[in-house]
């Protein structure tokens, strides 16, 4: 069933595991993720960045694609359809109007007060329609959708103020993770994660889940992370398999063969992440 993020994340926070958020880029990726979710009976979140939304045609296209795949593939597991890094109220509103069940409003480029203002606006609109809202504090480093960001660690007091004033359903505090691959070992601030998890009643989100060693992912979950976003590692798993296929079969031109040659590698990467995030 298509659901908002609340129940699956509450259960994850209570039982100390993390719900996977996998970014989708096209129909094939969506099908692979849904099929693995069903195979492993794992509720999960499909994340759609604005760039991916434009690439696929628009929020209505994405909503129709996801709901119809779920119907035709007989997906019974709970799935949340979520905007990743929505840049404005208007973007979040149009996703909600199209049927998305969750949105992230990323006001991290603004001052704290402006971030609070814009996030509150989204929360008011979303909560009236039973849609969950993720907010961001600090700035997650690295590059996503061609946009580069400097890493800026979130401050504990800012996070508390942000939650009290916005009442977001989930919070992504930037605590050392970056989008894309890391140069060297990530420096995650586990202490602030732990303090925030104790102080706040809502689940915490770790962006930039790719390239973080398994033991640090487990430390982050133990420190209170309940949702982990992964995009790059799935892209690489898919890409490596496709490159191999194209080298071996340069005569194949059917896109179903070329694109589809990444299916098993990507599904294996999805299975590994789900198992890692759910280990106790």
Residues known to be catalytic: 84
Q: Are 131 and 103 in contact (CB under 8 A)?
A: yes
In the complex, which residues of this chain contact ligand 13P (CB under 6 A)?
A: 23, 47, 84, 179-180, 207-210, 229-233
> Least distance from C-beta 107 to ligand 13P, angstroms?
15
How many CB atoms lie under 10 A from the CB of residue 268? 13
Asked if 262 and 54 touch (Cβ cutoff 8 Å), the reply is: no
Q: Is there a contact between 220 and 253 (Cβ–Cβ < 8 Å)?
A: no
Q: Alpha carbon of 192 to those of 42, 72, 163, 215: distances in Å?
A: 28, 44, 15, 18
Choice between 74 and 183, CB closer to ligand 13P: 183
CB of 45 to ligand 13P, least distance (A): 10
Instruction: Please say which residue, 123 or 237, places its beta carbon nearer to ligand 13P.
Output: 237
Query: Least distance (Å) from ligand 13P to the CB of residue 190?
Result: 18
Least Å distance, CB 67 to ligand 13P, is 22
Structure tokens at 71: 């119907």
| Number of neighbouring beta carbons within 10 Å of residue 1 | 11
Least Å distance, CB 166 to ligand 13P, is 19
Q: Considering beta carbons, is residue 8 or 174 the nearer one to ligand 13P?
A: 174
Nearer to ligand 13P, 6 or 232 (CB): 232
- 3 state DSSP class of 83: strand
Task: CB nearer to ligand 13P: give 165 or 180.
Answer: 180
């Amino acid at each position: 069933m298509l659901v908002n993020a609340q129940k699956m994340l509450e259960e994850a926070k209570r039982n100390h595991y993390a719900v996977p958020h996998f970014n989708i880029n096209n129909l094939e990726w969506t099908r692979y993720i849904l099929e693995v979710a069903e195979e492993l009976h794992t509720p999960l979140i499909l994340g759609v960045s604005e760039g991916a939304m434009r690439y696929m045609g628009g929020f209505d296209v994405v909503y129709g694609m996801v709901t119809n795949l779920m119907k035709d593939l007989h997906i019974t597991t709970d799935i949340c359809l979520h905007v990743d890094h929505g840049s404005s109220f208007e973007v979040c509103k149009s996703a909600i109007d199209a049927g998305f069940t969750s949105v992230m409003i990323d006001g991290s480029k603004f001052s704290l007060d402006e971030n609070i203002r814009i996030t509150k606006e989204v929360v008011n609109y979303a909560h009236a329609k039973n849609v969950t809202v993720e907010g961001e504090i600090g700035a997650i480093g690295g590059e996503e959708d061609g946009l580069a960001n400097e890493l800026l660690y979130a401050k504990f007091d800012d996070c508390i103020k942000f939650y009290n004033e916005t009442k977001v359903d989930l919070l992504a505090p930037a605590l050392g993770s970056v989008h894309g691959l890391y140069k060297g070992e990530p420096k995650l601030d586990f202490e602030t994660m732990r303090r925030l998890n104790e102080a706040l009643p809502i689940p915490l989100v770790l962006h930039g889940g790719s390239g973080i060693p398994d033991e640090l992912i487990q430390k982050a979950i133990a420190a209170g992370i309940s949702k982990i976003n992964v995009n790059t590692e799935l892209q690489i798993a898919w890409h490596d398999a496709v490159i191999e296929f194209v080298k071996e079969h340069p005569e194949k031109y059917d896109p179903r063969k070329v694109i589809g040659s990444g299916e098993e590698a990507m599904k294996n990467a999805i299975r590994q992440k789900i198992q890692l995030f759910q280990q106790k």
